[in-house]
């Protein structure tokens, strides 16, 4: 019962958090340049809009450290309630901001501040949501933990449908004037639903057991210091493992949207394609993550990175054909089929790298540092497009492929993680060191040993 509640809470919470966070990304590609940066040229306005988008990703590691610290000290559940509340309020406030024409430079400044708050909230949300599922699961950890990651594209689909549906209902002029606010204001409704579900979930048994075992023992270090001192290799490699997945995510869900609109596609057509691919990505993430329970995290992530590296050179030629069918196909293949291969298993993989008393901090920090790739990819690629002319898309594809190869190397060096025991308290846990040992990744976690290096 608690596992089902935990997974439901993680998925629904992730959907709501990423609805809010990624609603901003879609709006930055299709609305904010006109609303908050109307005094700039089209290219400069797009760059400015993507820059505010990137600030949210810059704030995510801070959120991971702050909420991770307290999540490792006082529990996962309390932090999840707090992060969801902060995100919902910040998104609502974006919906009531004045435009540049109404408030001048104060409007984009307030937008940046609220985007930073969003980043801090989502930075703390992911780690706790993953741990609520992973630490409740006695087996099939990859599958259950993946529902947190699956919530991200579903939240993207929901936010895209909200924006496109509003645009269709009120018309283009009204949408740019006031209609874009409606999806942001709806965040308060989603917040109420999410809190109702999340408050019914119990603390994870792994954390509760850890608290009982160390109740009388003083805590000798902060969780962040424990990660830096005892797991520096795991932290650095985890950043490299996830970096390409986020670069591709930022490319497909933000940069490609702006690129396609500039290439002549109707905004509504592009948003519809994004909604379809985001919805289908949920099945891809859950399916490939379940496969990683059988084959291990390493082969699934490596296969995804290599396939995406090759696919990146076909992505822009497909869009440049001007065909709506090929545009949607490019999004579906990229976001729904290939990207989930290297993104889905990350939820379980990150939790398997760190020990109980620093897992929230370590997993959050590694994941959110890698997440900077999604924040900066649209900004960097827009600059490349402006400077490189006809060769821009080839350069962009080469950059994506290079990041994918970094992931392949980092995963190979890191080794298989699916056999790691989540019950280990810390690096100096008297129950045994957090060290690798040969074990089949398909075995239930309770029977597994440590992974092979």
3-state SS assignment for residue 429? coil
Residue 216 lies in a domain: no
Dihedral over alpha carbons 101, 104, 106, 110 (to 10 degrees): 30
pLDDT at 332: 95
Q: Looking at 133-142, 285-294, 339-348, 399-408, which range is the least confident one?
A: 133-142
What six digits make up the tokens of 122? 């989502």
Residue 452 lies in a domain: no
Residue 61 lies in a domain: yes
Domain that holds residue 323: 2-203+222-447
Query: Tens digit of pLDDT for each residue in 114-169?
Result: 989 988 998 888 888 888 888 887 788 999 999 999 988 888 888 888 888 888 88
Q: Is residue 115 within 8 Å of 52, Cβ to Cβ?
A: yes
Domain holding 325: CATH number? 1.20.1250.20
Q: Looking at 4-8, 24-28, 107-111, 332-336, which range is the least confident one?
A: 24-28
pLDDT at 215: 55
Residue 217 lies in a domain: no
pLDDT at 447: 44
Q: Distance between CA atoms of 162 and 275, rounded to whole angstroms?
A: 10
Kindly tell me the burial class for residue 72, based on how many C-beta atoms sit within 10 Å of its own C-beta (0-12, 13-18, 19 or more): buried
Residue 87 lies in a domain: yes
The band of 416, judged by pLDDT with boundaries at 50, 70 and 90, is very high
Residue 56 lies in a domain: yes
Q: What is the DSSP letter of 452?
A: P
3-state SS assignment for residue 46? helix
pLDDT at 164: 83
The band of 396, judged by pLDDT with boundaries at 50, 70 and 90, is very high
Domain count, the chain: 1
Indicate if the alpha-carbon torsion angle 163, 165, 166, 168 is positive or negative: positive
Residue 288 lies in a domain: yes
User: Which residues does 308 contact at the CB level (< 8 Å), separation at least 6?
Assistant: 244, 248, 334, 338, 339, 341, 342, 400, 404
Q: Is 108 a residue whose pLDDT tops 70? A: yes
- Does residue 160 or residue 314 have the better pLDDT? 314
- Does residue 425 or residue 203 have the better pLDDT? 203
Residue 228 lies in a domain: yes
């Amino acid at each position: 019962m608690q596992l089902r509640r935990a997974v439901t809470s993680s998925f629904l919470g992730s959907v709501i958090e990423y609805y809010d966070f990624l609603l901003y990304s879609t709006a930055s590609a299709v609305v904010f340049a006109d609303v908050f940066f109307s005094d700039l040229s089209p290219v400069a306005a797009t760059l400015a809009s993507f820059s505010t988008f990137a600030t949210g990703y810059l704030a995510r590691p801070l959120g991971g450290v702050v909420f991770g610290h307290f999540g490792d000290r006082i529990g996962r559940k309390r932090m999840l309630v707090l992060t969801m509340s902060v995100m919902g309020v910040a998104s609502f406030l974006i919906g009531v901001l004045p435009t540049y024409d109404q408030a001048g430079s104060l409007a984009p400044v307030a937008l940046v501040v609220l985007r930073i708050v969003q980043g801090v909230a989502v930075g703390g949300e992911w780690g706790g949501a993953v741990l609520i599922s992973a630490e409740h699961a006695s087996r099939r950890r990859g599958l259950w933990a993946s529902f947190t990651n699956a919530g991200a594209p579903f939240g993207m689909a929901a936010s895209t449908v909200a924006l496109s549906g509003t645009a269709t209902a009120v018309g283009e002029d009204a949408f740019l004037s006031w209609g874009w606010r409606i999806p942001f204001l709806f965040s308060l409704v989603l917040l109420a639903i999410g809190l109702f579900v999340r408050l019914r979930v119990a603390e994870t048994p792994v954390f509760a057991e850890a608290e009982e075992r160390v109740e009388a023992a003083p805590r000798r270090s902060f969780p962040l210091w424990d990660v830096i001192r005892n797991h520096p290799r795991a932290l650095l490699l985890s950043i490299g493992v996830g970096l390409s997945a986020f670069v591709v995510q930022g490319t497909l869900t933000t940069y490609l949207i702006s690129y396609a609109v500039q290439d002549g596609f109707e905004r509504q057509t592009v948003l519809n394609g994004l909604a379809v691919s985001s919805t289908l990505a949920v099945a891809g993430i859950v399916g490939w993550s379940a496969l990683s329970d059988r084959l291990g995290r390493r082969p699934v992530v490596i296969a995804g990175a290599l396939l995406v590296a090759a696919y990146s050179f076909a992505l822009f030629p497909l869009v440049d054909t001007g065909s709506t069918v090929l545009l949607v196909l490019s999004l579906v293949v990229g976001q729904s089929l290939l990207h989930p291969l290297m993104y889905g298993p990350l939820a379980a993989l990150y939790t398997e790298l760190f020990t109980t008393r620093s897992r929230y901090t370590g997993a959050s920090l590694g994941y959110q540092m890698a997440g900077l790739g999604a924040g900066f990819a649209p900004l960097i690629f827009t600059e490349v497009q402006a400077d490189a002319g006809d060769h821009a898309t080839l350069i962009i594809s080469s950059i994506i492929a290079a990041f994918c190869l970094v992931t392949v190397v980092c995963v190979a060096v890191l080794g298989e993680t699916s056999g790691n025991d989540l019950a280990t308290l810390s690096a100096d846990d008297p129950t045994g060191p957090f060290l690798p040992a040969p074990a089949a990744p398909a075995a239930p976690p309770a029977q597994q040993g440590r992974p092979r290096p």
